[in-house]
């Protein structure tokens, strides 16, 4: 009911001359008539770290620079070129209604590796760092995340109310059944599957807390055969 699969093109580029040039070209190729190319950085001053991006913003009227500090609001349809974001930044941008395509220039590959693994974006520039992916999620866990994605309202926060009850209830059931959970990898999966704003980060925090022995409150009543049902779905899917 609340499926929000990411259906726009994505790419990740290395932070070197070849990667930045390829990122700009990729974004231009994904522009439509009257589109604006939005360049995102965390701070306004960050743009000065890359001459090619600074020149792009200053030279062309259909290129706009936005910053996280100013809200990162994208006001016109078109591709977004995010320079040096982390996964929290990507999550905040991912659900923007004007977004036609997203390209990310890296600064610390491990900061976004789970998202890259889950999203499988186009690789631009030096792709050697992406030959090693993050941990693989247990198929039962993926089945649970897919069900949660369809169940919760992504316009709401999972920090409280129905959404928190559902998410925490499922996570506790998975933990109690011995299904391994990795918060960072799950955060990357969530961003790649339409979880937006603070929810992917909150999901990872719940997982980390539960793995550390905490029991966040949940009023959700998870049926006793829930994990068995997930395992059956996975088994039946593997037979297709």
Is the distance from CB of 91 to CB of 184 less than 8 angstroms? no
- CATH superfamily, domain 10-130, is P-loop containing nucleotide triphosphate hydrolases (3.40.50.300)
Identify the weakest region by mean pLDDT among 4-8, 12-16, 42-46, 116-120.
4-8
Contacts of 113 (CB under 8 A, 6+ apart): 130, 133, 134, 188
Query: Can you name the CATH fold of 139-239?
Result: AhpD-like (1.20.1290)
Residue spans of the domains in the chain: they are 10-130, 139-239
What's the mean pLDDT in 156-184? 95
pLDDT confidence of residue 1: 40
Instruction: Give the bridge partners for 13, in sequence order.
Output: 105, 124
Give the residue among 50, 51, 77, 80 at the shortest CA–CA distance from 65: 80
pLDDT at 169 over 70: yes
Residue 234 CA to residue 239 CA, distance in Å, equals: 9
Residue 81 CA to residue 22 CA, distance in Å, equals: 11
Sign of the torsion formed by the C-alpha atoms of 140, 142, 143 and 149: positive
Residue 31 CA to residue 177 CA, distance in Å, equals: 47
Collapsed DSSP state (helix, strand, coil) of residue 213: coil
Which CA distances in Å does 231 have to 103, 170, 193, 237? 36, 14, 21, 10
Please calculate the CA angle 58-61-66 and round it to the nearest 5 degrees: 65
What's the mean pLDDT in 76-97? 92
pLDDT confidence of residue 2: 46
- Tell me: the pLDDT tens digits for 197-240? 899 999 999 999 999 999 999 998 888 899 999 999 998 876 64
Collapsed DSSP state (helix, strand, coil) of residue 71: coil
Which CA distances in Å does 44 have to 12, 89, 125, 155, 182? 21, 15, 25, 29, 34
- Tell me: the pLDDT tens digits for 29-60? 999 999 999 999 999 999 999 999 999 999 99
Task: For the sheet with 63-67, list strands across it.
Answer: 63-67, 37-41, 78-83, 99-105, 10-13, 122-124
Residue 126 CA to residue 123 CA, distance in Å, equals: 8
Tell the burial category of 109 from Cβ atoms under 10 Å away from its Cβ (0-12, 13-18, 19+). Answer: middle
């Amino acid at each position: 009911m609340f499926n929000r699969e990411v259906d726009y093109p994505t790419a990740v580029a290395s932070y070197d001359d070849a990667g930045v040039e390829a990122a700009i070209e990729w974004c231009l190729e994904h522009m439509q008539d009257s589109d604006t190319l939005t360049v995102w950085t965390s701070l306004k001053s960050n743009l000065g770290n890359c001459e090619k991006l600074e020149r792009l913003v200053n030279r062309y009227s259909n290129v706009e620079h936005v910053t996280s500090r100013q809200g990162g609001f994208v006001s016109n349809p078109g591709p977004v070129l995010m320079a040096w974001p982390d996964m929290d930044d990507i999550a905040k941008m991912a659900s923007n209604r004007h977004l036609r395509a997203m390209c990310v220039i890296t600064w610390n590959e491990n900061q976004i590796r789970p998202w890259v693994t889950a999203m499988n974006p186009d690789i631009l520039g030096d792709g050697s760092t992406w030959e090693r992916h993050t941990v693989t999620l247990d198929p039962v866990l993926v089945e649970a995340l897919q069900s949660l994605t369809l169940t919760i309202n992504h316009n709401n926060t999972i920090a409280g109310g129905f959404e928190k009850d559902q998410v925490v209830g499922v996570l506790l059931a998975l933990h109690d059944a011995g299904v391994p959970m990795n918060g960072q990898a799950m955060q990357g999966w969530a961003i790649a599957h339409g979880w937006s704003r603070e929810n992917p980060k909150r999901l990872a925090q719940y997982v980390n807390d539960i793995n550390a022995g905490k029991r966040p409150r949940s009023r959700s009543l998870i049926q006793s055969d829930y994990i068995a049902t997930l395992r059956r779905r996975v088994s039946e899917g593997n037979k297709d």
